[in-house]
Structure 1
Protein backbone atom coordinates (compact mmCIF):
# COMPACT_ATOMS: atom_id res chain seq x y z
CA UNK A 1 0.00 0.00 0.00
CA UNK A 2 1.09 3.54 -0.71
CA UNK A 3 -0.43 6.52 1.05
CA UNK A 4 -1.32 9.46 -1.11
CA UNK A 5 -2.66 12.81 0.05
CA UNK A 6 -4.15 13.07 3.53
CA UNK A 7 -7.50 11.32 3.72
CA UNK A 8 -6.94 9.17 0.63
CA UNK A 9 -5.78 5.61 0.17
CA UNK A 10 -3.87 4.36 -2.85
CA UNK A 11 -3.54 0.60 -3.30
CA UNK A 12 -0.90 -1.00 -5.48
CA UNK A 13 1.81 -3.67 -5.70
CA UNK A 14 -0.32 -6.06 -3.67
CA UNK A 15 1.45 -9.20 -2.42
CA UNK A 16 -0.19 -12.33 -1.08
CA UNK A 17 1.37 -14.44 1.67
CA UNK A 18 -0.61 -17.59 1.29
CA UNK A 19 1.04 -20.67 2.82
CA UNK A 20 -0.87 -20.65 6.09
CA UNK A 21 -2.79 -23.74 7.13
CA UNK A 22 -5.35 -21.85 9.16
CA UNK A 23 -6.82 -18.40 9.68
CA UNK A 24 -4.39 -15.52 10.19
CA UNK A 25 -5.02 -13.86 13.56
CA UNK A 26 -2.34 -11.18 13.61
CA UNK A 27 0.48 -9.62 11.60
CA UNK A 28 3.38 -7.27 12.32
CA UNK A 29 6.15 -5.56 10.36
CA UNK A 30 9.69 -5.40 11.69
CA UNK A 31 10.86 -1.86 12.61
CA UNK A 32 12.86 -1.62 9.38
CA UNK A 33 9.96 -2.95 7.30
CA UNK A 34 12.05 -5.75 5.82
CA UNK A 35 10.20 -8.62 7.46
CA UNK A 36 6.59 -9.51 8.13
CA UNK A 37 5.25 -11.76 10.86
CA UNK A 38 1.94 -13.58 10.63
CA UNK A 39 0.33 -15.55 13.44
CA UNK A 40 -1.97 -18.37 12.43
CA UNK A 41 -4.73 -20.52 13.83
CA UNK A 42 -2.63 -23.50 12.68
CA UNK A 43 -0.34 -23.03 15.71
CA UNK A 44 2.58 -21.52 13.82
CA UNK A 45 4.13 -18.10 13.31
CA UNK A 46 5.43 -17.29 9.83
CA UNK A 47 8.27 -14.96 8.86
CA UNK A 48 8.33 -13.41 5.42
CA UNK A 49 10.66 -11.24 3.39
CA UNK A 50 8.49 -8.20 2.74
CA UNK A 51 9.70 -7.19 -0.72
CA UNK A 52 9.89 -10.63 -2.34
CA UNK A 53 7.13 -12.34 -0.36
CA UNK A 54 9.50 -15.25 0.27
CA UNK A 55 8.76 -17.44 3.28
CA UNK A 56 11.78 -17.30 5.60
CA UNK A 57 10.54 -19.62 8.32
CA UNK A 58 7.52 -21.36 9.73
CA UNK A 59 7.91 -21.84 13.48
CA UNK A 60 5.90 -24.19 15.63
CA UNK A 61 6.04 -24.82 19.34
CA UNK A 62 2.79 -23.40 20.62
CA UNK A 63 0.23 -26.05 21.57
CA UNK A 64 -2.69 -24.01 20.29
CA UNK A 65 -3.68 -21.24 17.88
CA UNK A 66 -1.21 -18.34 17.75
CA UNK A 67 -3.27 -15.28 18.64
CA UNK A 68 -0.89 -12.33 18.39
CA UNK A 69 2.62 -11.40 17.30
CA UNK A 70 4.81 -8.32 17.66
CA UNK A 71 8.42 -7.29 17.00
CA UNK A 72 10.48 -5.58 19.69
CA UNK A 73 11.27 -1.91 18.89
CA UNK A 74 14.98 -2.73 18.47
CA UNK A 75 14.09 -5.40 15.89
CA UNK A 76 16.11 -8.14 17.58
CA UNK A 77 13.21 -10.13 19.02
CA UNK A 78 9.58 -10.91 18.47
CA UNK A 79 6.89 -12.27 20.77
CA UNK A 80 3.95 -14.55 20.09
CA UNK A 81 0.93 -15.38 22.24
CA UNK A 82 -1.32 -18.40 22.00
CA UNK A 83 -4.30 -20.32 23.22
CA UNK A 84 -1.95 -22.59 25.17
CA UNK A 85 -1.68 -19.85 27.87
CA UNK A 86 1.95 -19.00 27.00
CA UNK A 87 4.04 -16.28 25.40
CA UNK A 88 7.12 -17.18 23.41
CA UNK A 89 10.08 -14.86 22.91
CA UNK A 90 12.03 -15.48 19.70
CA UNK A 91 15.41 -14.39 18.36
CA UNK A 92 14.96 -12.84 14.91
CA UNK A 93 18.44 -13.55 13.54
CA UNK A 94 18.40 -17.25 14.39
CA UNK A 95 14.61 -17.77 14.30
CA UNK A 96 14.72 -19.71 17.55
CA UNK A 97 12.72 -19.59 20.77
CA UNK A 98 14.60 -18.00 23.69
CA UNK A 99 11.98 -18.15 26.44
CA UNK A 100 8.55 -19.67 27.05
CA UNK A 101 6.72 -17.36 29.45
CA UNK A 102 4.19 -19.07 31.71
CA UNK A 103 1.93 -17.20 34.09
CA UNK A 104 -1.45 -16.82 32.45
CA UNK A 105 -4.26 -19.26 33.23
CA UNK A 106 -6.13 -18.90 29.96
CA UNK A 107 -5.50 -17.92 26.33
CA UNK A 108 -3.11 -14.96 25.91
CA UNK A 109 -4.56 -12.43 23.48
CA UNK A 110 -2.12 -9.50 23.39
CA UNK A 111 1.51 -8.61 23.96
CA UNK A 112 3.49 -5.37 23.75
CA UNK A 113 7.12 -4.36 24.24
CA UNK A 114 8.28 -1.30 26.12
CA UNK A 115 10.00 1.25 23.83
CA UNK A 116 13.43 0.24 25.17
CA UNK A 117 12.65 -3.45 24.42
CA UNK A 118 13.48 -4.41 28.03
CA UNK A 119 9.99 -5.22 29.28
CA UNK A 120 6.98 -7.04 27.91
CA UNK A 121 3.30 -6.78 28.84
CA UNK A 122 0.73 -9.47 28.10
CA UNK A 123 -3.00 -9.88 28.64
CA UNK A 124 -5.63 -12.50 28.05
CA UNK A 125 -8.78 -14.33 28.98
CA UNK A 126 -7.77 -14.67 32.63
CA UNK A 127 -8.44 -10.90 32.97
CA UNK A 128 -4.81 -10.32 33.98
CA UNK A 129 -2.09 -8.02 32.66
CA UNK A 130 1.35 -9.53 33.30
CA UNK A 131 4.65 -7.65 33.13
CA UNK A 132 7.84 -9.53 32.17
CA UNK A 133 11.57 -8.87 31.95
CA UNK A 134 12.61 -9.62 28.38
CA UNK A 135 16.25 -10.61 28.89
CA UNK A 136 15.57 -13.27 31.51
CA UNK A 137 11.96 -14.10 30.73
CA UNK A 138 11.17 -13.54 34.41
CA UNK A 139 7.69 -12.50 35.50
CA UNK A 140 7.83 -9.15 37.27
CA UNK A 141 4.27 -8.57 38.42
CA UNK A 142 0.55 -9.05 37.80
CA UNK A 143 -1.68 -6.05 37.21
CA UNK A 144 -5.21 -7.05 38.18
CA UNK A 145 -8.43 -5.09 38.04
CA UNK A 146 -10.14 -5.86 34.75
CA UNK A 147 -13.43 -7.75 34.96
CA UNK A 148 -13.21 -9.46 31.57
CA UNK A 149 -10.71 -10.58 28.94
CA UNK A 150 -7.78 -8.24 28.22
CA UNK A 151 -7.61 -7.93 24.43
CA UNK A 152 -5.08 -5.15 23.81
CA UNK A 153 -2.12 -3.38 25.39
CA UNK A 154 0.34 -0.63 24.58
CA UNK A 155 3.23 1.10 26.32
CA UNK A 156 3.46 4.88 26.23
CA UNK A 157 6.48 6.17 24.27
CA UNK A 158 8.11 7.26 27.53
CA UNK A 159 7.69 3.74 29.01
CA UNK A 160 6.33 5.25 32.25
CA UNK A 161 2.78 4.08 31.63
CA UNK A 162 1.04 1.05 30.15
CA UNK A 163 -2.50 0.87 28.81
CA UNK A 164 -4.71 -2.21 28.67
CA UNK A 165 -8.07 -2.56 26.94
CA UNK A 166 -10.65 -5.12 28.00
CA UNK A 167 -13.96 -6.67 27.13
CA UNK A 168 -15.19 -5.09 30.38
CA UNK A 169 -15.50 -1.90 28.22
CA UNK A 170 -12.75 -0.06 30.09
CA UNK A 171 -9.15 0.98 29.53
CA UNK A 172 -6.71 0.97 32.42
CA UNK A 173 -3.59 3.11 32.33
CA UNK A 174 -0.97 1.81 34.74
CA UNK A 175 2.35 2.91 36.16
CA UNK A 176 4.02 -0.47 35.64
CA UNK A 177 6.94 0.16 37.99
CA UNK A 178 4.62 0.42 41.01
CA UNK A 179 1.48 -1.47 39.87
CA UNK A 180 -0.45 1.77 40.39
CA UNK A 181 -3.62 2.34 38.37
CA UNK A 182 -3.24 5.91 37.13
CA UNK A 183 -6.62 6.29 35.44
CA UNK A 184 -9.56 4.20 34.23
CA UNK A 185 -11.18 5.27 30.99
CA UNK A 186 -14.90 4.57 30.61
CA UNK A 187 -17.18 5.40 27.71
CA UNK A 188 -17.33 2.45 25.34
CA UNK A 189 -20.63 0.62 25.36
CA UNK A 190 -19.26 -2.70 24.17
CA UNK A 191 -16.08 -4.82 24.10
CA UNK A 192 -12.75 -3.18 23.36
CA UNK A 193 -10.55 -4.66 20.66
CA UNK A 194 -7.61 -2.30 20.08
CA UNK A 195 -5.82 0.61 21.78
CA UNK A 196 -2.85 2.75 20.72
CA UNK A 197 -0.91 5.66 22.20
CA UNK A 198 -0.13 8.72 20.08
CA UNK A 199 3.60 9.20 19.34
CA UNK A 200 3.95 11.86 22.05
CA UNK A 201 1.97 9.82 24.59
CA UNK A 202 -0.55 12.57 25.27
CA UNK A 203 -3.49 10.78 23.66
CA UNK A 204 -4.82 7.24 23.42
CA UNK A 205 -7.10 5.83 20.72
CA UNK A 206 -9.46 2.92 21.37
CA UNK A 207 -11.66 0.83 19.07
CA UNK A 208 -13.96 -2.14 19.37
CA UNK A 209 -17.41 -3.65 19.06
CA UNK A 210 -19.24 -0.40 19.76
CA UNK A 211 -18.71 0.66 16.09
CA UNK A 212 -16.72 3.73 17.09
CA UNK A 213 -13.20 4.95 17.73
CA UNK A 214 -12.55 7.15 20.75
CA UNK A 215 -9.62 9.47 21.42
CA UNK A 216 -8.69 10.16 25.05
CA UNK A 217 -6.58 12.76 26.82
CA UNK A 218 -4.15 10.66 28.89
CA UNK A 219 -3.55 13.39 31.45
CA UNK A 220 -7.20 14.09 32.32
CA UNK A 221 -8.75 10.75 31.38
CA UNK A 222 -11.42 12.55 29.36
CA UNK A 223 -12.69 11.49 25.93
CA UNK A 224 -11.85 14.34 23.56
CA UNK A 225 -13.39 12.89 20.41
CA UNK A 226 -15.71 10.07 19.38
CA UNK A 227 -15.44 9.00 15.75
CA UNK A 228 -18.67 7.31 14.67
CA UNK A 229 -18.03 6.66 10.98
CA UNK A 230 -17.34 2.96 11.61
CA UNK A 231 -20.25 0.80 10.45
CA UNK A 232 -19.15 -2.47 12.01
CA UNK A 233 -16.68 -3.83 14.56
CA UNK A 234 -13.51 -1.69 14.67
CA UNK A 235 -10.74 -4.28 14.90
CA UNK A 236 -7.70 -2.01 14.94
CA UNK A 237 -6.51 1.56 15.38
CA UNK A 238 -3.12 3.24 15.10
CA UNK A 239 -1.57 6.69 14.88
CA UNK A 240 0.85 7.57 12.11
CA UNK A 241 4.43 8.23 13.34
CA UNK A 242 3.97 12.01 13.05
CA UNK A 243 0.73 11.85 15.07
CA UNK A 244 -1.27 13.73 12.45
CA UNK A 245 -3.46 10.83 11.33
CA UNK A 246 -5.38 8.14 13.11
CA UNK A 247 -6.21 5.01 11.13
CA UNK A 248 -8.87 2.45 11.99
CA UNK A 249 -9.73 -0.86 10.36
CA UNK A 250 -13.24 -2.29 10.52
CA UNK A 251 -15.38 -5.12 9.18
CA UNK A 252 -17.69 -2.76 7.31
CA UNK A 253 -20.03 -4.41 4.84
CA UNK A 254 -18.24 -7.77 5.21
CA UNK A 255 -14.92 -6.36 4.08
CA UNK A 256 -12.10 -4.51 5.77
CA UNK A 257 -11.77 -0.80 5.25
CA UNK A 258 -9.16 1.74 6.25
CA UNK A 259 -10.25 5.17 7.41
CA UNK A 260 -7.85 8.07 7.86
CA UNK A 261 -8.81 10.89 10.21
CA UNK A 262 -6.77 13.99 10.89
CA UNK A 263 -5.62 14.38 14.48
CA UNK A 264 -6.34 18.11 14.23
CA UNK A 265 -9.24 20.28 15.48
CA UNK A 266 -10.69 20.82 12.01
CA UNK A 267 -13.22 18.24 10.75
CA UNK A 268 -11.44 15.29 9.14
CA UNK A 269 -11.88 14.19 5.56
CA UNK A 270 -12.86 10.52 5.38
CA UNK A 271 -12.35 8.26 2.41
CA UNK A 272 -13.28 4.58 2.25
CA UNK A 273 -12.20 2.14 -0.44
Structure 2
Protein backbone atom coordinates (compact mmCIF):
# COMPACT_ATOMS: atom_id res chain seq x y z
CA UNK A 1 0.00 0.00 0.00
CA UNK A 2 1.04 3.58 -0.61
CA UNK A 3 2.47 5.23 2.50
CA UNK A 4 1.27 8.73 1.57
CA UNK A 5 -2.10 9.91 2.79
CA UNK A 6 -4.99 10.51 0.42
CA UNK A 7 -6.10 14.05 -0.34
CA UNK A 8 -9.58 15.20 0.54
CA UNK A 9 -12.07 14.99 -2.30
CA UNK A 10 -13.81 18.05 -3.65
CA UNK A 11 -17.35 16.75 -3.71
CA UNK A 12 -19.95 17.96 -6.16
CA UNK A 13 -22.22 17.07 -9.04
CA UNK A 14 -19.76 17.41 -11.91
CA UNK A 15 -21.60 15.93 -14.89
CA UNK A 16 -24.97 14.31 -15.39
CA UNK A 17 -25.71 11.58 -17.93
CA UNK A 18 -29.46 11.19 -17.92
CA UNK A 19 -31.12 9.62 -20.96
CA UNK A 20 -31.64 6.16 -19.45
CA UNK A 21 -35.12 4.68 -19.27
CA UNK A 22 -34.24 2.19 -16.56
CA UNK A 23 -32.00 1.74 -13.56
CA UNK A 24 -28.27 2.18 -14.18
CA UNK A 25 -26.68 -1.08 -13.05
CA UNK A 26 -23.05 -0.43 -13.94
CA UNK A 27 -20.69 2.18 -15.36
CA UNK A 28 -17.18 1.83 -16.78
CA UNK A 29 -14.54 4.21 -18.12
CA UNK A 30 -12.29 3.46 -21.05
CA UNK A 31 -8.59 3.23 -20.06
CA UNK A 32 -7.95 6.71 -21.47
CA UNK A 33 -10.99 8.15 -19.68
CA UNK A 34 -12.54 9.53 -22.87
CA UNK A 35 -15.52 7.17 -23.01
CA UNK A 36 -18.02 6.19 -20.34
CA UNK A 37 -20.22 3.10 -20.62
CA UNK A 38 -23.46 2.73 -18.72
CA UNK A 39 -25.53 -0.46 -18.53
CA UNK A 40 -29.23 -0.08 -17.89
CA UNK A 41 -32.32 -2.10 -17.06
CA UNK A 42 -33.86 -0.68 -20.23
CA UNK A 43 -31.83 -3.23 -22.22
CA UNK A 44 -29.35 -0.80 -23.76
CA UNK A 45 -25.64 -0.12 -23.40
CA UNK A 46 -24.98 3.63 -23.56
CA UNK A 47 -21.68 4.94 -24.92
CA UNK A 48 -20.88 8.51 -23.83
CA UNK A 49 -18.14 11.01 -24.58
CA UNK A 50 -16.99 11.81 -21.06
CA UNK A 51 -15.95 15.44 -21.51
CA UNK A 52 -18.94 16.68 -23.50
CA UNK A 53 -21.52 14.26 -22.02
CA UNK A 54 -22.60 13.57 -25.60
CA UNK A 55 -24.31 10.25 -26.24
CA UNK A 56 -22.26 8.54 -28.96
CA UNK A 57 -24.15 5.27 -29.24
CA UNK A 58 -27.14 3.50 -27.76
CA UNK A 59 -26.33 -0.14 -28.41
CA UNK A 60 -29.03 -2.71 -29.00
CA UNK A 61 -28.86 -6.49 -29.12
CA UNK A 62 -29.51 -7.69 -25.58
CA UNK A 63 -33.02 -8.99 -25.01
CA UNK A 64 -33.19 -8.13 -21.34
CA UNK A 65 -31.80 -5.75 -18.72
CA UNK A 66 -28.05 -5.17 -19.06
CA UNK A 67 -26.45 -6.04 -15.73
CA UNK A 68 -22.76 -5.29 -16.19
CA UNK A 69 -20.23 -3.72 -18.55
CA UNK A 70 -16.46 -3.49 -18.60
CA UNK A 71 -13.67 -2.32 -20.93
CA UNK A 72 -10.72 -4.51 -21.81
CA UNK A 73 -7.45 -3.15 -20.36
CA UNK A 74 -6.08 -2.45 -23.85
CA UNK A 75 -9.14 -0.28 -24.58
CA UNK A 76 -10.01 -2.08 -27.81
CA UNK A 77 -13.08 -3.99 -26.59
CA UNK A 78 -15.80 -3.91 -24.03
CA UNK A 79 -18.14 -6.59 -22.75
CA UNK A 80 -21.73 -6.43 -21.55
CA UNK A 81 -23.79 -9.05 -19.75
CA UNK A 82 -27.52 -9.44 -19.49
CA UNK A 83 -30.53 -11.20 -18.05
CA UNK A 84 -30.88 -12.75 -21.53
CA UNK A 85 -28.19 -15.32 -20.46
CA UNK A 86 -25.55 -13.92 -22.82
CA UNK A 87 -22.36 -11.87 -22.86
CA UNK A 88 -21.66 -9.60 -25.82
CA UNK A 89 -18.17 -8.55 -26.90
CA UNK A 90 -18.02 -5.20 -28.69
CA UNK A 91 -15.43 -3.43 -30.80
CA UNK A 92 -14.89 0.03 -29.28
CA UNK A 93 -14.02 1.88 -32.48
CA UNK A 94 -16.99 0.66 -34.46
CA UNK A 95 -19.37 -0.08 -31.57
CA UNK A 96 -19.96 -3.39 -33.34
CA UNK A 97 -20.81 -6.67 -31.63
CA UNK A 98 -18.05 -9.18 -32.42
CA UNK A 99 -19.26 -12.20 -30.43
CA UNK A 100 -22.34 -13.29 -28.55
CA UNK A 101 -21.12 -15.65 -25.83
CA UNK A 102 -23.65 -18.36 -24.97
CA UNK A 103 -23.16 -20.90 -22.21
CA UNK A 104 -24.91 -19.58 -19.15
CA UNK A 105 -28.34 -20.91 -18.25
CA UNK A 106 -29.56 -17.85 -16.35
CA UNK A 107 -28.84 -14.13 -16.02
CA UNK A 108 -25.16 -13.15 -16.35
CA UNK A 109 -24.32 -10.76 -13.52
CA UNK A 110 -20.60 -10.09 -13.96
CA UNK A 111 -17.83 -9.98 -16.56
CA UNK A 112 -14.12 -9.24 -16.21
CA UNK A 113 -11.13 -9.16 -18.57
CA UNK A 114 -7.70 -10.55 -17.82
CA UNK A 115 -4.97 -7.87 -17.65
CA UNK A 116 -3.63 -8.90 -21.08
CA UNK A 117 -7.17 -8.60 -22.56
CA UNK A 118 -6.99 -12.15 -23.93
CA UNK A 119 -9.48 -13.83 -21.60
CA UNK A 120 -12.88 -12.96 -20.21
CA UNK A 121 -14.60 -14.38 -17.14
CA UNK A 122 -18.36 -14.35 -16.63
CA UNK A 123 -20.61 -15.49 -13.80
CA UNK A 124 -24.27 -15.45 -12.95
CA UNK A 125 -27.38 -16.94 -11.47
CA UNK A 126 -26.57 -20.46 -12.71
CA UNK A 127 -23.73 -20.57 -10.10
CA UNK A 128 -21.21 -21.01 -12.92
CA UNK A 129 -18.04 -19.16 -13.79
CA UNK A 130 -17.01 -19.44 -17.44
CA UNK A 131 -13.64 -18.44 -18.91
CA UNK A 132 -13.70 -17.39 -22.58
CA UNK A 133 -11.04 -16.75 -25.20
CA UNK A 134 -11.66 -13.18 -26.33
CA UNK A 135 -10.36 -13.41 -29.88
CA UNK A 136 -12.44 -16.44 -30.88
CA UNK A 137 -15.30 -16.20 -28.39
CA UNK A 138 -14.75 -19.86 -27.47
CA UNK A 139 -15.33 -21.27 -24.01
CA UNK A 140 -12.03 -22.20 -22.31
CA UNK A 141 -13.03 -23.40 -18.84
CA UNK A 142 -16.07 -23.98 -16.68
CA UNK A 143 -15.45 -23.32 -12.99
CA UNK A 144 -17.86 -24.81 -10.48
CA UNK A 145 -17.78 -24.62 -6.71
CA UNK A 146 -20.11 -21.84 -5.65
CA UNK A 147 -23.47 -22.85 -4.19
CA UNK A 148 -25.42 -19.76 -5.18
CA UNK A 149 -25.42 -16.98 -7.76
CA UNK A 150 -22.04 -15.52 -8.77
CA UNK A 151 -22.43 -11.75 -8.61
CA UNK A 152 -18.88 -10.41 -9.06
CA UNK A 153 -15.51 -11.32 -10.54
CA UNK A 154 -12.07 -9.83 -11.11
CA UNK A 155 -8.71 -11.08 -12.37
CA UNK A 156 -5.63 -10.55 -10.24
CA UNK A 157 -3.08 -8.08 -11.69
CA UNK A 158 -0.78 -10.99 -12.61
CA UNK A 159 -3.58 -13.02 -14.30
CA UNK A 160 -2.59 -16.01 -12.13
CA UNK A 161 -5.90 -16.05 -10.32
CA UNK A 162 -9.53 -15.02 -10.56
CA UNK A 163 -11.62 -13.83 -7.62
CA UNK A 164 -15.37 -14.49 -7.62
CA UNK A 165 -17.99 -13.45 -5.09
CA UNK A 166 -21.25 -15.31 -4.56
CA UNK A 167 -24.54 -15.17 -2.74
CA UNK A 168 -23.27 -18.22 -0.84
CA UNK A 169 -21.39 -15.58 1.27
CA UNK A 170 -17.93 -16.70 0.12
CA UNK A 171 -15.15 -15.34 -2.07
CA UNK A 172 -13.28 -17.90 -4.16
CA UNK A 173 -9.75 -17.30 -5.45
CA UNK A 174 -9.28 -19.63 -8.42
CA UNK A 175 -5.72 -20.68 -9.30
CA UNK A 176 -5.59 -20.33 -13.08
CA UNK A 177 -2.08 -21.77 -13.31
CA UNK A 178 -3.51 -25.26 -12.83
CA UNK A 179 -4.09 -27.03 -16.13
CA UNK A 180 -7.67 -27.64 -17.20
CA UNK A 181 -9.90 -29.43 -16.35
CA UNK A 182 -8.63 -29.67 -12.78
CA UNK A 183 -8.56 -26.36 -10.94
CA UNK A 184 -8.29 -25.42 -7.31
CA UNK A 185 -9.48 -22.45 -5.29
CA UNK A 186 -9.02 -20.97 -1.87
CA UNK A 187 -12.04 -19.71 0.01
CA UNK A 188 -12.17 -16.41 1.86
CA UNK A 189 -14.97 -16.53 4.38
CA UNK A 190 -16.04 -14.21 7.14
CA UNK A 191 -18.84 -12.25 5.56
CA UNK A 192 -22.21 -13.08 7.09
CA UNK A 193 -24.21 -12.00 4.06
CA UNK A 194 -24.25 -12.46 0.31
CA UNK A 195 -21.20 -11.18 -1.59
CA UNK A 196 -22.40 -8.47 -3.97
CA UNK A 197 -19.17 -6.95 -5.32
CA UNK A 198 -15.38 -7.28 -5.29
CA UNK A 199 -12.34 -5.80 -6.99
CA UNK A 200 -8.54 -6.03 -7.02
CA UNK A 201 -6.21 -3.09 -6.62
CA UNK A 202 -3.24 -2.70 -8.96
CA UNK A 203 -0.88 -4.19 -6.37
CA UNK A 204 -3.09 -7.20 -5.63
CA UNK A 205 -5.21 -6.21 -2.62
CA UNK A 206 -8.77 -7.47 -2.78
CA UNK A 207 -11.90 -5.71 -1.52
CA UNK A 208 -15.25 -7.47 -1.10
CA UNK A 209 -18.66 -5.98 -0.29
CA UNK A 210 -21.64 -7.78 1.15
CA UNK A 211 -25.26 -7.78 2.18
CA UNK A 212 -23.94 -7.78 5.76
CA UNK A 213 -23.33 -4.00 5.17
CA UNK A 214 -19.55 -4.37 5.50
CA UNK A 215 -16.51 -4.28 3.24
CA UNK A 216 -13.51 -6.51 3.81
CA UNK A 217 -10.03 -5.63 2.58
CA UNK A 218 -7.89 -8.74 2.06
CA UNK A 219 -4.36 -9.79 1.25
CA UNK A 220 -5.39 -12.72 -0.96
CA UNK A 221 -1.85 -14.11 -1.14
CA UNK A 222 -1.94 -14.94 2.56
CA UNK A 223 -5.75 -15.13 2.88
CA UNK A 224 -5.45 -12.56 5.67
CA UNK A 225 -8.02 -9.89 6.51
CA UNK A 226 -6.50 -6.39 6.67
CA UNK A 227 -9.58 -4.31 7.52
CA UNK A 228 -13.28 -4.72 8.05
CA UNK A 229 -14.97 -1.48 6.99
CA UNK A 230 -18.26 -0.64 8.69
CA UNK A 231 -20.54 2.32 8.14
CA UNK A 232 -23.05 1.51 5.42
CA UNK A 233 -26.64 1.25 6.60
CA UNK A 234 -27.59 -0.96 3.67
CA UNK A 235 -25.91 -3.68 1.61
CA UNK A 236 -22.83 -2.73 -0.42
CA UNK A 237 -23.56 -2.58 -4.15
CA UNK A 238 -20.29 -1.47 -5.80
CA UNK A 239 -16.57 -1.01 -5.03
CA UNK A 240 -13.72 0.79 -6.78
CA UNK A 241 -10.07 1.46 -5.89
CA UNK A 242 -8.59 4.80 -6.86
CA UNK A 243 -5.67 4.40 -9.31
CA UNK A 244 -3.14 5.38 -6.62
CA UNK A 245 -4.67 2.76 -4.25
CA UNK A 246 -4.99 5.30 -1.46
CA UNK A 247 -8.77 5.27 -1.51
CA UNK A 248 -11.58 2.75 -1.88
CA UNK A 249 -15.03 3.96 -2.91
CA UNK A 250 -18.15 2.02 -1.98
CA UNK A 251 -21.77 2.50 -2.99
CA UNK A 252 -24.46 1.08 -0.74
CA UNK A 253 -28.06 0.43 -1.70
CA UNK A 254 -28.88 3.99 -0.69
CA UNK A 255 -27.93 7.51 -1.77
CA UNK A 256 -24.66 7.21 0.13
CA UNK A 257 -21.25 6.69 -1.48
CA UNK A 258 -18.38 6.32 0.99
CA UNK A 259 -14.65 6.82 0.41
CA UNK A 260 -12.19 4.93 2.64
CA UNK A 261 -8.49 5.30 3.46
CA UNK A 262 -6.83 2.05 2.34
CA UNK A 263 -3.93 2.54 4.76
CA UNK A 264 -6.00 2.98 7.91
CA UNK A 265 -9.46 1.63 7.09
CA UNK A 266 -11.02 4.96 8.14
CA UNK A 267 -13.93 6.55 6.29
CA UNK A 268 -12.75 9.78 4.65
CA UNK A 269 -15.94 10.95 2.96
CA UNK A 270 -19.65 10.19 2.89
CA UNK A 271 -21.19 11.59 -0.27
CA UNK A 272 -24.95 11.86 -0.50
CA UNK A 273 -26.21 11.38 -4.03
CA UNK A 274 -28.51 13.95 -5.57
CA UNK A 275 -30.73 11.50 -7.42
CA UNK A 276 -31.60 8.07 -6.06
CA UNK A 277 -30.06 4.77 -4.99
CA UNK A 278 -26.37 4.62 -6.02
CA UNK A 279 -26.03 1.40 -8.01
CA UNK A 280 -22.45 1.85 -9.16
CA UNK A 281 -19.30 3.83 -8.43
CA UNK A 282 -16.07 4.14 -10.37
CA UNK A 283 -13.02 6.42 -10.42
CA UNK A 284 -11.81 8.03 -13.61
CA UNK A 285 -8.44 6.60 -14.75
CA UNK A 286 -6.61 9.70 -13.47
CA UNK A 287 -8.31 9.37 -10.07
CA UNK A 288 -9.58 12.95 -10.12
CA UNK A 289 -13.28 12.16 -10.44
CA UNK A 290 -15.59 9.65 -8.81
CA UNK A 291 -18.75 8.75 -10.72
CA UNK A 292 -21.86 7.06 -9.33
CA UNK A 293 -24.75 5.61 -11.30
CA UNK A 294 -28.22 5.91 -9.83
CA UNK A 295 -31.50 4.03 -9.98
CA UNK A 296 -33.33 7.04 -11.30
CA UNK A 297 -35.43 7.02 -14.47
CA UNK A 298 -36.79 9.97 -16.43
Q: TM-score, normalised by structure 1?
A: 0.92
Q: 1:246 Cα shift? A: 1.9
2:251 matches 1:249: yes
Shift of 1:177: 4.3
Question: What does residue range 23-38 of structure 1 map to in structure 2 within 5 Å?
Answer: 23-38=23-38
Once the two structures are superposed, residues 189-228 of structure 1 have per-residue CA deviations (whole angstroms, 9 ceiling, x without a partner) of 0111111112111x21100211111011212212221111
Contact 1:71–1:77 (8 Å) recurs in 2? yes
- Structure 1, 14-23 or 131-140: larger mean CA deviation: 14-23
* Matches for 1:102-251 after TM superposition, within 5 Å: 102-178=102-178, 180-201=183-204, 203-251=205-253
Partner residue, 1:22: 22
Shift of 1:256: 2.7
Q: Is residue 268 from structure 1 mapped to residue 271 from structure 2 by the alignment? A: no
Residues 48 and 54 in structure 1, CA contact (< 8 A), matched pair in contact too? yes
2:73 maps to 73
For 1:167 and 1:144, how far apart are their aligned partners in 2? 14
Relative contact order higher in (CA < 8 Å, ≥ 6 apart): 2
Checking the alignment, whether the CA contact within 8 Å between 2:227 and 2:265 is kept in structure 1 is no
Deviation at 1:271, TM superposition (A): 2.4
1:60 matched residue in structure 2? 60
For structure 2, list consecutive stretches of 5 or more residues without a partner in the other structure.
272-298
CA deviation string 1:78-109 (max 9, x = no partner)? 00000010000000000110000000000000
1:23-74 CA deviation, whole Å, 9 max, x = no partner?
A: 2111111110000101111111010000101110011111111110001001
Alignment coverage as a number of residue pairs: 264
Which 10-residue stretch deviates more, 178-187 or 161-170? 178-187
Q: Report if the CA contact (8 A) 1:7-1:260 is conserved.
A: no
Decide whether the 8 Å contact of 1:7 with 1:270 is kept in 2. Answer: no
Q: Displacement, 1:13? A: 5.8
TM-score, with length taken from structure 2: 0.85
Asked whether the 8 Å contact 2:6–2:246 carries over to 1, the reply is no
CA contact (8 A) 1:8 1:260 kept: no
| Of 59-68 and 178-187, the range deviating more from structure 2 | 178-187
| Stretches of structure 1 lacking an aligned partner (at least 5 in a row) | none
Q: Distance in 1 between matches of 2:260 and 2:201?
A: 13
Give me the CA root mean square deviation: 1.6
